[in-house]
Structure 1
Amino acid sequence: MSQWLDEKQRLTKGILLTIAYAFVMSLTGVVAKQVQLSIAVPVLVFWQSLFCVLVLYPQLRGRWQPRSVTIWKIHFLRSVGGFTGFLFYYWALNHIPLVEATLLRYCAPLCVPFVVLIMHKTSVPKSRWLPLLIGFSGVVCIIQPTPEQLNPWHLIGFLSAIGLAFSMVTTRMLSHQVSSEETMMVYFLISAGLSLGLALLQGESLLLPMPAWPLVAVVSITLYVGMFLYTKAYSYAPASVVSPVSYAGVVFSGLWGWLVWGHLPDVYAYAGMLLIFLSILISTRMAKKQSG
């Protein structure tokens, strides 16, 4: 009985941490959308990455270990995936409602089987095709790929999901070999370098206007706290619980979009939300059965 209660408490903690993560990351999206009125996306990514490096450095001081070339290759792929995921997400925020950009980013689990196919030559199981087709039907509802409705920035938003999917797959590959702090540290270092190069290539100044400093600080802090909560949630609850619960981030983003910008999703966006959530729910339940 006590063991059952302990497991229930851990599951409850995992769910609460996941909801907290979803809320905090929705704040990141709100402020990131606002701060881009005064600074370019690569500049924002550079400063948020540098902040997280400074926070993580004391935690890893004296704990670095030699790594093989293979590990460094996976680190690099994970970092590029995470970097492009944020870059495309922030770019999309400039041109489409927050809830739609967030929703497209949350399509990452739909892209994971195809990333695994590319990286490991592992075919997609037949049982996975039904939830995938349901999920991508939801993506089509949001993008509305007709000559009259197609907005290329929806496609940019979906590219953020592909980048995030690469990040998810490679993070899992690293999880059994290095600490989460090391994974995050390497990611933010590479992200800072790539965003710096992109900012210089675009001729952007890294100097922030005074009004932008508080907003960049909020983006950086909420990003770090969000990633910490997400990692912590996985220590209490399995992916089969965390993945669908994290979809609460779409709800929070929808509320912020309505309160701040007056954006209300149309019937196609609502249909897309429902289909994508249903797809993720089916996929996670299938994964839970297979692991059990």
Structure 2
Amino acid sequence: MSDVYLVKKGIYATLSYALVMSVTAVGAKQVQTELAVPVLVFWQSLFCCLVLLPQMWGKWERRTLAVVKIHFLRSLGGFLGFLFYYWALNHIPLVEASLLRACAPLCVPFVVLIMHRTMIPKARWIPLFVGFVGVGLVIQPTPDHFNPWHLVGLLSAVGLAFSMVTTRMLSNHVSGQETMLIYFAISALLSAVLSLVQGETLSLPASTWGWVLLVGATLYIGMYLYTLAYTYAPASVVSPVSYVGIVFSGFWGWMIWGHVPDWLAITGTGLIFASVLLSARLARNRTPTSG
């Protein structure tokens, strides 16, 4: 297969991923009128565990303590990312919560700085500045407009960035299926503990079964498509294309809840997208043969 054909497949997989994950967000926002966030995270994690377990049957290997630690850190980052994202969905429009979570690539350099003491290259500061100006326009932190739940949405990006960095570290040692299964298993355990601490029951009302199944199934399919996209195309292509998910989220938010972003939020979205494009170009120029 030609590289052009593979890149096209990667783009199609990314578009599909963006659409599917926007449906996940819709389901999560709908069902949270009846379920606490940790309970939803528990059931979506348990669902994905049950799907992944047969795929890992007979493939387990003994891992070093260092790999086990990275597994835990990756799982903790992913768990907190979803927890903050779902909490934000309860209080701010879907498109704004999705956009703030999509700022994870902007947070990655700072996570790398903290974890590996690797300084951020000077060339990266320009797209980072542009991106965070865009975040400021979306949040609009003025006394009349400021909503602290926007910061919770931004924390979901930090958690996702943490999981992205540690997933990359794991990719040289374990399979993607192992990474996902351990993540969902730890996520299920942590969310169950958090639910019990909050006094929530893990039982599901019959009226929520369909929504929870939708969230779990689309989450698994979305993660599969995301992995497929990175298999076919380099990150410099996949990352910018994945931002079409903001458009899907905006459409669902308008159709279902009547949310229409103002011109400042739309401008901020454009700046964030531009910063991701610029970062992708810098990465491609620095490592032209890799993704």
Q: TM-score range by the shorter chain?
A: over 0.9
Q: Secondary structure at the match of 2:206?
A: coil
Question: In the TM superposition, what is the alpha-carbon distance from 1:115 to its structure 2 partner?
Answer: 0.1
Q: Secondary structure at the match of 1:48?
A: helix
Instruction: Output the amino acid matched with 2:265.
Output: A
Name which of 194, 198, 211 aligns with 1:198.
194
2:218 maps to 222
Instruction: Output the amino acid matched with 1:32.
Output: A
Name which of 78, 87, 98 aligns with 1:91.
87
Deviations 1:208-234 (A, max 9, x none): 110100000000000000000000011
2:42 maps to 46
1:288 maps to 284
2:265 maps to 269
Instruction: Output the amino acid matched with 1:70.
Output: A
CA distance in 1, matches of 2:283, 2:43: 37
CA distance in 2, matches of 1:271, 1:72: 42
CA distance in 1, matches of 2:261, 2:143: 20
Instruction: Output the amino acid matched with 1:53.
Output: C
Is 1:19 aligned with 2:23?
no
Question: In the TM superposition, what is the alpha-carbon distance from 1:241 to its structure 2 partner?
Answer: 0.2
Is 1:251 aligned with 2:247?
yes
CA distance in 1, matches of 2:3, 2:121: 31
Q: Which runs of 4+ in 1 moved over 4 A?
A: none
State the TM-score, normalizing by the size of structure 1. 0.98
Question: In the TM superposition, what is the alpha-carbon distance from 1:116 to its structure 2 partner?
Answer: 0.1
Q: Secondary structure at the match of 2:48?
A: helix
Identity value in percent: 65
1:232 maps to 228
2:177 maps to 181
2:102 maps to 106
Is 1:74 aligned with 2:70?
yes
Correspondence list, 1:76-155, <5 A: 76-155=72-151
Is 1:160 aligned with 2:126?
no
Q: Secondary structure at the match of 1:100?
A: helix
State the TM-score, normalizing by the size of structure 2. 0.98
CA distance in 2, matches of 1:150, 1:263: 17
Question: In the TM superposition, what is the alpha-carbon distance from 1:42 to its structure 2 partner?
Answer: 0.2
The count of residues paired between Structure 1 and Structure 2 equals 288
Deviations 1:19-43 (A, max 9, x none): 0000000000001000000000000
Deviations 1:133-186 (A, max 9, x none): 000000100111111111000000000000000000000000111000000001
What are the ranges of 5 or more consecutive residues in structure 2 without an aligned counterpart?
A: none
Question: In the TM superposition, what is the alpha-carbon distance from 1:9 to its structure 2 partner?
Answer: 0.7
Question: In the TM superposition, what is the alpha-carbon distance from 1:83 to its structure 2 partner?
Answer: 0.3
